[in-house]
Structure 1
Amino acid sequence: MNNYLENLTSFHYPFITIVIIWLAITIYASKYAKPNSWISKLGMSLGNKVGPKCATKLPIVRKPKNKDQAMFGGWNCKNCGIEIDKYGKEL
């Protein structure tokens, strides 16, 4: 039983380290990265978004139209049809 607990805790250290590094990168990417940089794709965008041209409110639950939207976020506006990134800017 004691050996099992030692193996279990040795598994948790790399996992916790990876989670902490991922959180740090995500927070940095969402707060401080330039919008057009490669690291900004890893960030989070919170809050409601509206279409930049028609001001239509975008849905919270989205259906991605392509693989970039599926991996990095974004919408297609139902009203005017433009592609919008996760920060609410036109692509």
Structure 2
Amino acid sequence: MNLKHAPFFIFLFFTVEVFGQQRIEKEGTNWFLYGLYAVILIWFIIYIRKASKNQAKNGINLKTVYCPNCNEKQPFIRLPKNISQALYGGTTCPKCGTELDKYGNII
């Protein structure tokens, strides 16, 4: 999965926020905006769950990662060695130096 639709949803969110704020000041509580925010939030949660299940770059992994070469447990709190690790997660094994993604696969 990729984030090709993310700029559209960011634009949509800020557009709704600006116009919605003007409507709220005139009319009171706008339940349409609450419903739209709920739909966007549910979509985002489903997207992240699918990305995590498919081991995509933008997924979240909370499981313990072991190095496939030396079977060393990787630290949960890590210091990224390069920009890819900083953006998408991953680590470098302190024992053997193998570069791993956030799911424990060799890069």
TM-score with structure 2 length normalisation? 0.64
Query: Does residue 1:49 correspond to 2:71, yes or no?
Result: no
Whichever of the two has the greater Rg, that structure is 2
Equivalent pairs: percent with the same residue?
Answer: 35
Deviations 1:14-37 (A, max 9, x none): 443332111111111122x3x5xx
> Quick one: distance in 2 between partners of 1:14 and 1:63?
38
Structure-2 residue corresponding to 1:71 = 87
Query: Does residue 1:24 correspond to 2:40, yes or no?
Result: no
Q: How does 1:1-40 map to 2 (within 5 A)?
A: 6=29, 12-31=34-53, 33=54, 35=55, 40=56
TM-score with structure 1 length normalisation? 0.73
SS of aligned partner of 2:77 = coil
Structure 1: give runs of 5+ residues left out of the alignment.
none
Please report the RMSD computed on the Cα atoms of aligned residues, expressed in angstroms.
2.0
> Quick one: distance in 2 between partners of 1:15 and 1:65?
37
Moved more, 21-30 or 10-19: 10-19
Structure 2: give runs of 5+ residues left out of the alignment.
1-23
Tell me the matched-pair count.
82
